[in-house]
Amino acid sequence: GAVVSQHPSRVICKSGTSVKIECRSLDFQATTMFWYRQFPKKSLMLMATSNEGSKATYEQGVEKDKFLINHASLTLSTLTVTSAHPEDSSFYICSARVRGRSNEQFFGPGTRLTVL
């Protein structure tokens, strides 16, 4: 149980376009989902916390208008990278917190974004 999926696993896009990444909890309800960014050979940096039905809370330094997060249901959160630039190229990972087990997060497999 507690499986989190992400789609797509890899995406390549041109500068200036927008890319949407989906994060789904497959077998549980996720009250909260988190979005992380991981640079090559670096640790994970929390970008934002997404609660179902409410606005996301962004970490300091993360541009809200550039990284749009929507958490429309208890099983789906989306991250849209708007007007992508090459410096947005990174590995994006989501995680979901299980309703009733609020101390644990389960991670998706990640999405590799390359902006040309």
Partner 1 sequence: AQSVTQPDIHITVSEGASLELRCNYSYGATPYLFWYVQSPGQGLQLLLKYFSGDTLVQGIKGFEAEFKRSQSSFNLRKPSVHWSDAAEYFCAVASAGGTSYGKLTFGQGTILTVHP
Contacting positions for partner 1 (CB under 8 A): 4, 6, 32, 34, 42-44, 46, 49, 91, 93, 95, 97, 102-110, 112
Decide if 35 contacts 47 (C-beta within 8 A).
Answer: yes
Torsion of CA 89, 57, 31, 29, to 10 degrees: -20
Closest distance of CB 83 from partner 1, Å: 26
Spatial neighbors of 22 by CB under 8 A, at least 6 apart, are 6, 7, 76, 77, 78
Q: By C-beta, is 2 or 82 nearer to partner 1?
A: 2
Closest distance of CB 16 from partner 1, Å: 26
Closest distance of CB 62 from partner 1, Å: 13
